Structures are given as structure tokens and as C-alpha cells.
Structure 1
Amino acid sequence: MSDWSHCFHFGVSLANQAAEIILTSFQKQKAVKLKSSPADLVTETDQRVETFLISAIRTQFPNHRFIGEESVAAGEALELTDTPTWIIDPIDGTVNFVHRFPFVAVSIAFAVNKQTEFGVVYSCVENKLFCAQRGRGAFLNGEPLHVSGQEDISRCVIVTEIGPERDDLALSTMTSNIYRLLRLPVHGVRALGTAAVDMCQVAVGGADAYFHVGLHCWDIAASAIIVQEAGGVVIDTNGLHFDMMSRRVIAASSASVAQRIADVIQVFPCRRDDEDPYSSVCGDAGACENKHV
């Protein structure tokens, strides 16, 4: 097994530098543009941070590849290959950033042979640096992380998001999922406005599970390995193996909680991240499945 520690330490350094850029602009007025919906926003700072990260990595590792949220939004192809690849979300929680809601993160993952080797999530305003290397545990500001280990769904706090989708099917599916979980019952459902920080709440034991449909690989690649290295379970919403390109995820404190959520929630159609954008809406039959309807 190759040791990618030199890349990991470089990624941590970059996350710290990116956080400084974000915090400098946090209290200022922002020029905001819409992407896919009125809830899918981008600012100059998103673009500036991504440009900084990719430029710095390319200088240090010229043969590496990149998947960046804003680069993909600008039209670059999204392709995960066996080549070392940095998966970047420059600001996870842009709506929070625009409104000065204090959950905003830099998310950096690194994959080789399509397997994530490390993840770094820096919750900037909180000054919390979550990180993990495959097989070496997960940490928050240098202290080891452990999931709660909760196995009883009725004692869980679950985190999710509504997400930027605003069509009737997506909204009705997501809100009905919250209803279904509250009726199990669970202790509560929470949302912080950033998938990366949401999932890290599972890693730190503050929440017992997270689920979502319709996010992207840059939202969850880093936090997924952090949850796994903290002892948690990360699966697809169909209950099978997690695939960061599927746009579906459940992260939980235990396999029993993860499976219980998979049994209850619905999904709505969404194209895989690595699908041809000119193909049909759902090339993956699992993505089109809508359970319990």
C-alpha cells in the first residue's frame, strides 16, 4: 500500500490557507450568482478558493487530476479515474456563507484507484479541522474521533438537508423522509446547511446518522472517510455499498441504524455524477427507484 501522507499533510495545509480566505470575506457583502436553482449559489470567494487550491496542488503534483465543484459547474468533465485525484468543495455551505450562518467548510478528499485515501474538512467559523487517512483513524483538531455507536434508531439524532432541488418530486420526497423518521420515532432531525459538517457530526458522536439524496461527490467524499475511520458505517440509500458518484448516502453510528434508515426513506431520480450529462435522467436504475410510494 502506498503512503500518501505527504499529500495528506499538504492538503491539511491548504485547508488552513483556504479557511483564511473564506474568513476574510465571511462578514462582507457578497456578489451572488445562481447555478441550478435559487438555493444553489456561488460567490467570487467559492471560485477564488477553488482556483487557489487547484493551482497550489497542480504546482506541487503536476500529474494529479481534479474534480472541483466550481470547475464542473463551469463545464469541465467530471471523471474519476485510477490516477491520483483531488476532490474539492471550496465552500461547502455557500448559502450559509452568504447569510453569515456559521457552518461553512472547506472539503478536500484524495482518491487513488477510485478509493479515497484521505479526507480533510475544515469548519472555518468553528475552527474545527476534521481529518482522516485510510487505516489511521479520524481526528478533530488532533484529538481522536469516535462515533456514538448507537444501535437503537429510536434514540438517534439524525442529520439531513433539504438540498438545492426545488421540483415537486424532490421536495415531497425529502420532506416525507423527515416525516417518516420522526414517526419511527427518533429523538430529532437536524440540518446545518453543509453536508460535509453534517457528516462530521456523526464522526464526532454529536449525531447518530446522516442521509441525503441529490448531493455530489465533492460534498461527501472527504467526510465519508472521516466517518468510516471514526468507526462509523457509510452505505448507499439502497442498503448496499457506498459509491461516492451515486449521489446517495447514509452515514451512521452502526450498521443497524444505517440499515433502518435505508428501509424507511424514499429516493428520487437523480443522474449519477459520472454519467453522461446528455444521457437520460437516470442511467442507474437504483437512482430511479422510489420506495414506499
Structure 2
Amino acid sequence: MSIETAIEAAKEAGRLIRQRVETTKRVETKYTAHDLVTEVDRQAEEIIRQVLHRAHPDHAILGEEGVAPGPEASREALEAHRDYEHLWIVDPIDGTTNFVHGFPYFCVSIALARRGKVELGVIYDPMRDECFTAERGKGARLNGEPIRVSEENDLGMSLVATGFPADYKGARKINTAGLIRLSSRCRNIRTAGSAALHMAYVAAGRLTAFWELELNAWDLAAGSLLVEEAGGRVTDTRGTPYHIGVRHVLATNGRIHEAMLEELRAAEATGFEKQEG
């Protein structure tokens, strides 16, 4: 089955990543000086591609390391692939900056979309050997055990996460405005550096919500299904339901979703203000 193939691919890549975390790496920059890639990212993606192609030779694969840097290239690559009957969406290391520095918060993210709709997702944390999985209509699991989103009903009782987008002149500044506003309105905020793993933590009830601007399909696809199958809600930062083209994302336990949307609007931090204004 496809979910077993995705788990196999994620864990094989994870073994390489775990072996290399404390070794010297060749580090290159991509879109900005904050957007890094190593030879391990590329090797891990090749492992994943080999496993997926062996099991599903007729399926298409959209992997981060096969796409040119920058938001526009990411959008164009997705548009060229999004209507495939079967499309694997792969991030070999989500949290490369953490990986480079030996900060143990990064993961492998693999999703399968059918004609643009995510049907399964796997997020594997190789340092903790935690494998988060979801299949549409079958719930979400962590190492085989069912998981659910948290039960906080009030933003003031919520632990929220975000990130710092690579575009430090645009999206990062806007995202930080949301962080500043929400920091006094929720219990606390975490910025650990992996969007996919943050979303897995929302699904597992470890975080109440996560938002960030200018993310890519490979950052979000697997995590979006995990959150939804764990009973949560995923939209863009205006409240439009998630689809694989979403770049400004909000994932929550569902109970504080409207409050989060309201705060992001009030902070002018949805990422859509420029287009709308």
C-alpha cells in the first residue's frame, strides 16, 4: 500500500539524516542567506525518489530539491504538477537550518495527492524516531497509535507556533507583526524551525495552533492532512480551506481558529494585505 511505501521512504531517508547530523556538511544558500541546502538534503531526496519509483513507477514526484529557489519558482512547479493523477510531494529535510546547526528539530515530509487533493501524509522525525501518519478518512497516528488535537477553547490558554520566512524583507516582517500581536494574547509562542513538524505537533495536541507565511506545498501537504484527520482545521490566513496551493497557512485544533484569524487580520499579518490593498 502507498502509506507503507511512504513510511519506508521516510525512514530510509531518516537513517541517512540521523547518521549525518553531527558530521561536517557542504552548506549552500538558495533563495536567501536564510534558505539553506546541504548534500544530505539532495541524497535524502534521491533515496525517497528511488523508494517511491520502485513501488509506483507511474507516479509523479514534486520534491523541494528538484525546484529552483524562490517563491515564484515554487508556484510554477506546483502549477505544472498539481493536476497529476498521483503526485508525491516531498521535503527530504524540513528544517535544514536546524540540521546544519545540530539542533534536533527537523523531519522528512512525504504526501500523496490525487488530482490536487492530499490523500496520505507521513512526517518522520529521525532524531526521536517519531512517525506521524495520516490517510484520508482513517484518522491520524503517531507510531501506530491514534492522535487528536488539543482541547483548548481559549486563545489565552493556547501554545502557538510560527516561523521566520526566508524572505526577510517581505514575508518575515509581516509574519513578525503577527507574532508580536499574538505574543500577548496566547499562553506562549514557539518558533522551532520546521513547519511540517509544527503541524504534526498540532495534530498530536502538543501545540494548539501554527501559522506562517510563504510556505511551499512540500512544507504543508503532509501536515495539513495530519491536522485534519486528527480533528483540527487547516486554512489559509484568510480562512479559505486548505488546498495544495496555499502558501500562508493557519492550522489549529479548530476551537481557536476564528480567534487566530481575527488576530492575524488585526495585526495586518495575513500576507494578503498587499494584494488586497
TM (norm. structure 1) is: 0.87
Q: Which residue of 1 aligns with 2:219?
A: 219
AA aligned opposite 2:49: I
AA aligned opposite 1:257: I
Q: How does 1:57-206 map to 2 (within 5 A)?
A: 57-73=52-68, 77-78=77-78, 79-167=81-169, 169-183=170-184, 185-206=185-206
Flag structure 1 segments of 5+ consecutive residues without an equivalent: 1-5, 270-285
Give the number of the structure with larger relative contact order, counting CA–CA contacts within 8 Å between residues 6 or more apart: 2
RMSD: 1.7
Aligned partners of 1:105 and 1:121 also within 8 Å:
yes
Could you give the per-residue CA deviations for residues 151-197 of structure 1, whole angstroms, max 9, x where no partner exists? Answer: 21111110100121111x323211111111123x1100101110011
AA aligned opposite 2:262: D
Q: How does 1:255-266 map to 2 (within 5 A)?
A: 256-265=255-264, 266=269
Determine whether 1:288 maps to 2:238.
no
- CA separation in 1, counterparts of 2:165 and 2:7? 27
Q: Which residue of 2 aligns with 1:283?
A: none
Aligned partners of 1:158 and 1:207 also within 8 Å:
yes
SS of 1:77's partner is helix
1:12 aligns with one of 2, 7, 11: 7
After TM superposition, give the deviation of residue 53 of structure 1 in Å: 1.2
SS of 2:256's partner is helix
SS of 2:211's partner is strand
After TM superposition, give the deviation of residue 236 of structure 1 in Å: 1.2
- CA separation in 1, counterparts of 2:164 and 2:150? 24
How many pairs are equivalent?
A: 266
SS of 2:174's partner is helix
Flag structure 2 segments of 5+ consecutive residues without an equivalent: none
After TM superposition, give the deviation of residue 200 of structure 1 in Å: 1.1
Aligned partners of 1:159 and 1:198 also within 8 Å:
yes
Identical amino acids, percent of aligned pairs:
35
After TM superposition, give the deviation of residue 267 of structure 1 in Å: 2.8
After TM superposition, give the deviation of residue 287 of structure 1 in Å: 7.6
Aligned partners of 1:267 and 1:287 also within 8 Å:
no
After TM superposition, give the deviation of residue 83 of structure 1 in Å: 1.2
Q: Which residue of 1 aligns with 2:250?
A: 250
AA aligned opposite 1:133: E
Aligned partners of 1:103 and 1:126 also within 8 Å:
no
- CA separation in 1, counterparts of 2:7 and 2:220? 17
- CA separation in 2, counterparts of 1:69 and 1:287? 27
Aligned partners of 1:246 and 1:287 also within 8 Å:
no
2:39 aligns with one of 44, 49, 53: 44
Structure 1 residues 18 and 33 mapped into 2: Cα distance closer, same or farther (>3 Å)?
Answer: same
- CA separation in 1, counterparts of 2:222 and 2:67? 18
SS of 2:77's partner is coil
SS of 2:119's partner is strand
Aligned partners of 1:88 and 1:109 also within 8 Å:
yes
Structure 1 residues 56 and 237 mapped into 2: Cα distance closer, same or farther (>3 Å)?
Answer: same
After TM superposition, give the deviation of residue 81 of structure 1 in Å: 1.1
After TM superposition, give the deviation of residue 82 of structure 1 in Å: 3.8
Q: Which moved more, 1:118-127 or 1:237-246?
A: 237-246
